[in-house]
Amino acid sequence: MKSREELERIKEETLAEIRLRSSQGCPRIVVGMGTCGIAAGARETMLAIIDELRKRRRLDVTISETGCIGLCAKEPIVEVNIPGQPKIVYGNVDPSRARQIVLSHIINHKPIQGWVINVDEKKS
């Protein structure tokens, strides 16, 4: 980063990207894909989520990823953002849990309490 203008430009670009990606009232699923997540099986978790959404014809859901958030023991970690609802973070999400989360939380709007590791009341 060299100048104030550049900083402004990065801010604009990032904000535009955030607006785009959190757009239009569609649910958004974030999978932790740091080294810890990958080693714990995050890739298969993400593919299971994509496959389950495809089967259930929810092609509008956005998939995203993030790095290590410091809870490596709980990986694979999956965060579910549904507009107007609290942001919910699940831990130890293997492919079979991932499919159940898609069905129960995304399709039927019923979070699976037992697997939740954090709830952010701030509505997304």
Partner 1 sequence: MIDISLHLLDLLQNSAHAGASSISVLVVEDQEHDSLEVVVKDNGVGMDEREKELALDPFYSSSPGKRVGLGLPLVLQTAQMAGGKVSIESAPGSGTKVTVQYRLSHIDRQPLGDLASTLVSFMAGNPRVNICFLYKGPHGEFAFDSEKALQGIDTQYLGQVGAICQIEEKLREGLAKAGFKPDRGGLLFEVPRGAGTHQRGNPG
The least CB distance from residue 53 to partner 1, in Å, is 5
3-state secondary structure of 68: coil
Q: Does 104 bind partner 1 (CB under 8 A)?
A: no
Task: State which of residues 15, 18, 47, 119 lies at the interface with partner 1 (CB under 8 A).
Answer: 47
Q: Does 6 bind partner 1 (CB under 8 A)?
A: no
The least CB distance from residue 60 to partner 1, in Å, is 6
Q: What are the CA-CA distances from residue 20 to residues 41, 54, 64 (Å)?
A: 28, 22, 12
What amino acid is encoded at 45 in this protein?
T
Task: State which of residues 9, 11, 54, 123 lies at the interface with partner 1 (CB under 8 A).
Answer: 54
Chain mean position to CA 67: 11
